[in-house]
């Protein structure tokens, strides 16, 4: 038996190898979440925090999140507050102390699709606000900027495309739930 084979059969080596493999897989997973949230307009930190909490499977305390992410407490608080407002993360207080715990109740498909859906919902709200502006003053010729006029003229077309995209996302969501 050669040296490499002996090392592979040694109990400690297998544990080290499995741990390194697990860390590499987790880092790849975390990078995917960083990319995903970055494409939605957030910092990579938001994606890292979301992935770390998701991988924990149970609630994670503030101190654990600080250790695992290497971010400061204030940075984590800002990111978690944003993710909480978007509905990705739940924050709760443990016991009567000041200890906070974070958890995620969403499944992988919901996490991936919710960001896209919230972006489209937000655009639809913007479209509604611009539509109200038109109803108050439908004359586009009086607008101070040619670019603003072009922007407003293209809103209905973009809104239609986004509405169709939202319908497709709903179909995908139904397929994933089966």
**Domain end position, chosen among 103, 123, 152:** 103
Compute the distance between CA of residue 64 and CA of residue 35 in angstroms, rounded to an integer.
23
Q: What mean pLDDT do residues 51-75 have? A: 87
State the pLDDT confidence band at 54, using cuts at 50, 70 and 90: confident
Which tens digit of pLDDT belongs to each residue from 78-135?
999 988 887 888 888 887 877 888 888 777 677 767 667 777 777 778 777 877 776 6
pTM assigned to the model:
0.57
CB 60 within 8 A of CB 53: yes
pLDDT at 3 over 50: no
Distances (CA, A) of 75 to 46, 97, 120, 174: 10, 21, 27, 36
> Side-chain half-sphere of 119: how many Cα atoms within 13 Å?
16
Q: Looking at residue 74, what is its pLDDT?
A: 92
Burial 110-139 (b: 16+ CB within 10 A, else e): bbbbbbbeebbeebeeebeeeeeeeeeeee
CATH of the domain at 49: 1.10.10.10
Q: Answer yes or no: is pLDDT of 2 > 60.
A: no
Across the chain, the runs of DSSP E, i.e. the strands, are 60-61, 90-93, 100-103
Task: For residues 51 and 17, state if they share a domain.
Answer: yes
Share of the chain above pLDDT 90, in %: 3
pLDDT in tens, 66-79: 888 889 999 999 99
Mean pLDDT of the chain: 76
Domain that holds residue 71: 3-103
One domain for residues 122 and 92: no
Domain final residue pick, 41, 76, 103: 103
Domain boundary among 76, 103, 130: 103
The answer to whether the beta carbons of residues 86 and 137 sit under 8 Å apart is no
């Amino acid at each position: 038996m050669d040296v490499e084979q002996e090392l592979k059969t040694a109990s400690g080596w297998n544990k080290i190898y499995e741990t390194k493999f697990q860390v590499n897989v987790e880092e790849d997973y975390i990078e995917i979440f960083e990319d995903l949230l970055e494409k939605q307009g957030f910092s990579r930190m938001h994606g890292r925090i979301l992935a770390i909490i998701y991988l924990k499977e149970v609630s994670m305390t503030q101190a654990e999140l600080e250790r695992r992410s290497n971010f400061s407490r204030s940075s984590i608080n800002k990111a978690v507050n944003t993710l909480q407002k978007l509905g990705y993360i739940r924050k709760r207080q443990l016991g009567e102390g000041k200890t906070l715990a974070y958890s995620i109740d969403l499944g992988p498909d919901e996490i991936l699709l919710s960001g896209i859906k919230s972006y489209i919902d937000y655009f639809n709200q913007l479209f509604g606000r611009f539509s109200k502006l038109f109803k108050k003053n439908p004359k586009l010729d009086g607008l101070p900027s040619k670019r603003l006029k072009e922007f407003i003229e293209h809103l209905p077309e973009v809104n239609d495309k986004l509405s169709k995209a939202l319908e497709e996302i709903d179909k995908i969501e139904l397929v994933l739930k089966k």
